[in-house]
Amino acid sequence: MVSLRVEGLRKSFPGVVALDGIDLNVREGEYVVILGPTGAGKTTLLKTIAGLARQDSGHIYFDQQRVDTLMPFQRSVAYLPQNYSLFAHLTVWDNVAFGPTVQDWSPRRRDQIVREMLNLVHLSDRRNSYPRELSGGMQQRVALARALATQARILLLDEPLRALDARLRLELRQELRTLAKYLGITTLHVTHDQEEAISVADRIVIIRKGKVVQAGSPKEVYEDPSTPFVSNFIGEANFLQGLLSRVEDGFSVIMLSDGRHVMGRPTNVPVNSQVVLGVKTDFCNVYHGKVEGQNSFTGTVVRSLFTGKRTTLEIQTGQGLLKAKVPSDQSLSEGSEATLRFQPENGIVYPIPNEGLQVALEVE
């Protein structure tokens, strides 16, 4: 197993800064998901680590050894691109054997590793098939086996499940993690799918506009998002703007535009500052009719979105449109009077972003 360290990585294209001083540490055998919106720099980061793109500045280390001066084939990295790039004229066996063959492995060693990889991805019985004869999930497994057949030290997965249907994505994302853990290979998995990231990662690194905005366990980035953008990107959140009146008894007290006060977690933001309080829609409760109490907002249900076990309710209140995800058996019909309520410990207080809240929340 090998560790990975990236220091101050910068990469620009004409008119675009793809990587803007990226710092990243990945422990031996860790499964790290790089998450961010389209255009955030995720693929450029993987290609730079793999040696397929040259950084403008910064350095890359494997086990404290600098590798950014090495050619791609010298880095011992397995890179799986979004489109798999299987050779249509080669069988499954020959696709997987391609890397060991061009590296001039002995036939005995090559055949042994190909057999092992096909067994790992459960495709030994399709060794003589061509890519066109395989399902999307099988093609993904072949591409993974081919990437791993060179016995690389680091696995780089670029949107590995993007081309698959929803049901197959659910099945294969756990297979990817299980296989990587079984092999003990250090893995970077790029995706823009928040649910995918949360379900497979040891740690999530969130990138926006070429910069790391937060890194932590799935639980940390979900329950303690560092910015309004992260709060709304990992899941969905409501935001209330106001003036921080005081911090007392372990809670922040915020005065809203209508003079009401709401409470949230304590903050280091100076008192009398303009702030925004964010609360996940998952952490909001909804009651029928008007209910008085702290952090309560009464309005009308204007939309009800059924998604199975959970239903998203959109409630028009005096503070604008607020949302809550509730168990479907507790849902309310559109047009109903309802009260949305949340506990102070679930409200996170942020300083108002310099660019304004709406711009800060934009997904490019």
At a CB cut-off of 8 Å and minimum separation 6, what does 231 contact?
225, 237, 278, 280, 348
- Residue 246 confidence (pLDDT): 95
The predicted structure's pLDDT at residue 121: 87
Tell me the sheet residues that pair with 204.
33, 216
Residue 39 has pLDDT above 80, yes or no: yes
For the segment 47-68, the average pLDDT, to the nearest whole number, is 96
How far CA 183 is from CA of 1, 148, 200, in Å, comes to: 9, 10, 16
Q: How far is it between the farthest Cα atoms of the chain?
A: 78
Q: List the single range of 116-125, 163-172, 344-353 with lowest mean pLDDT.
A: 163-172
Helix (H, G, I), strand (E, B) or coil at 289: coil
Report whether pLDDT(173) > 90.
no
Three-state DSSP class for residue 324? strand
* All structural domains of the chain: 4-223 (3.40.50.300), 228-361 (2.40.50.140)
Over the stretch 105-131, which tens digit does the pLDDT of each residue have? 999 999 999 999 998 888 999 999 999
Q: Which residue has the tokens 């299980």?
A: 178
Tell me the H-state helices in the chain. 42-50, 92-102, 107-120, 136-148, 166-183, 194-200, 218-223, 228-233, 357-361
pLDDT band at 294; cut points 50, 70, 90: very high
Chain position carrying tokens 């995800």:
325
Cα–Cα dist 223/174, whole Å: 23
Q: Residue 9: its pLDDT value, please?
A: 98
Structure tokens at 280: 């996940």
- Which pair of tokens denotes residue 340? 């949305």
- How many whole angstroms separate alpha carbon 250 and alpha carbon 352? 21
The pair of structure tokens assigned to 228 is 């309004």
pLDDT exceeds cutoff 80 at 163 = no
Compute the average pLDDT of residues 46-51.
96
What is the C-alpha separation between 293 and 29, in angstroms, rounded?
49
The predicted pLDDT at position 271 comes to: 96
pLDDT of 311 higher than 80? yes
**CA pair distance 353, 127, nearest whole angstrom:** 55
pLDDT band at 167 (very low <50, low <70, confident <90, very high): confident
pLDDT band at 330 (very low <50, low <70, confident <90, very high): confident
Asked if pLDDT for residue 172 goes beyond 90, the answer is no
Q: Average pLDDT over the chain, rounded to whole? A: 93
DSSP state of 352: P
**Is the pLDDT score of 84 beyond 80?**
no
CB 188 within 8 A of CB 155: yes
Strands 65-66 and 57-62: antiparallel
Q: What is the mean pLDDT of residues 90-106?
A: 93
Strands 211-216, 203-208: pairing is antiparallel
Q: Please state the rounded mean pLDDT for residues 40-44.
A: 95
> Which amino acid would we find at residue 120?
L
Phi, psi of 235 (to 5 degrees): 90, -145
> Would you say residue 165 has pLDDT above 90?
no
CA 81 to chain centre: 17
Q: Which residues contact 88 (CB under 8 A, 6 or more apart)?
A: 130, 131, 132
Dump pLDDT digits (tens) for 211-246.
999 999 999 999 999 999 999 999 899 999 999 999
- Give CA 106 to chain center in angstroms: 40
